Structure 1
Amino acid sequence: MTREHHYELALNWTGDLGRGTADARAYSRDHVIAHPRAGTIDGSSDPSFRGDPARWNPEQLFVAALSQCHMLWFLHLATTAGLVVTGYEDAPLGTMLESSDGSGRFSEVVLRPTVTISAGDPAVVDELHERVAEYCFIARSVNFAVRHEAALVVGERAVDEHAVAGS
């Protein structure tokens, strides 16, 4: 059975500086993305495209969506595999190629999760990361591979050696 889901939000451009889009420098790329229950996200374009670096841009949100989707499916699969995950951090990296005509596309996103487990078989962690690709809605919707370079911590989080040395 196929179920259909819909995702609705509001997008409001807030960048009219008084002259509209009279020229490329006449307006700001600022906008607000809103949902009545989820709140707002202050958006802009990438600073390379005249955006505000203090606001989220579509490229960052795209990479974040891939990372979130991977994490949520990993946590679910870990639960069904008997792993007890006590920590999950990711530092994803997206690479976008811009063409000379100004168009562009993502060539890859590399997820770099560090998963901490307190119980279960550590040997299944890599398999679960691979299986996420079968389920993650966002990753299944892109036209490039989403890779991962995962790290695993078993038990307590690793202690920063510099902090211990200074004690």
Structure 2
Amino acid sequence: MALHQYSLKVQWEGNRGSGTSSYQAYKRDFTVQHPNKTEILGSADPAYLGDVSRWSPEDLMVAAASACHKLWYLHLCAVNKIIVLSYVDQAIGYMEDVDPKKRGHITQIILRPHVELSAESDQPLAAALHEKAHHECMIANSVNFPIICEASFSVTAAK
């Protein structure tokens, strides 16, 4: 068993001069930093007074689920001789904040990848590999809500 560690720094950038003296007094802005990676500009969801132009934790959760599934899917396609020419996911996450015990929580993420395959690829196998990718994905294995995959495909004829 291998133990993997992921270290980064999240730094709040929202002190307007009086810190958190009131709910309205501070910005929710933060940065995610790592010495070898591009900085991520983050904030709260706009519903919680965040900056709409920055990534919210909810956005990042949906992105993590989509990216993890995609990486596993591409790996499985490569080892099964399925040639993926493009992969675009229009993922969407749903959050509910009416439960006073949970405050806000993601209720589901729906992945909607459109996969372009080469003509010689086995499309039924390509479709089946999404289920295997879901079971391999460490994000899907780490959350307590469903991640649903609604894949679509197109086939590009050989030139």
TM range (shorter): over 0.9
Report the identity percentage: 40
Q: Quote the residue 1:164 is aligned against.
A: none
* Partner Cα separation in structure 1 for residue 67 and residue 40 of structure 2: 16
Q: Quote the residue 2:146 is aligned against.
A: 145
What do the CA deviations read for 1:42-101 (whole angstroms, capped 9, x no partner)? 000000000000000000000000000000000000011111111000000101110253
Q: Quote the residue 2:131 is aligned against.
A: 130
Provide the secondary structure at the position in 1 that maps to 2:86. strand
Q: Quote the residue 1:44 is aligned against.
A: 43
TM-score, normalised with respect to structure 1: 0.90
The aligned length equals 155
Consecutive unaligned residues in structure 1, runs of 5 or more: 157-167
How far off is 1:134 after superposition?
Answer: 1.7
Q: Quote the residue 1:117 is aligned against.
A: 117
Consecutive unaligned residues in structure 2, runs of 5 or more: none
* Partner Cα separation in structure 1 for residue 93 and residue 5 of structure 2: 26
CA RMSD of aligned residues (A): 1.1
* Partner Cα separation in structure 2 for residue 145 and residue 92 of structure 1: 13
* Partner Cα separation in structure 2 for residue 100 and residue 10 of structure 1: 30
1:155 aligns with 2:156: yes
How far off is 1:106 after superposition?
Answer: 1.0
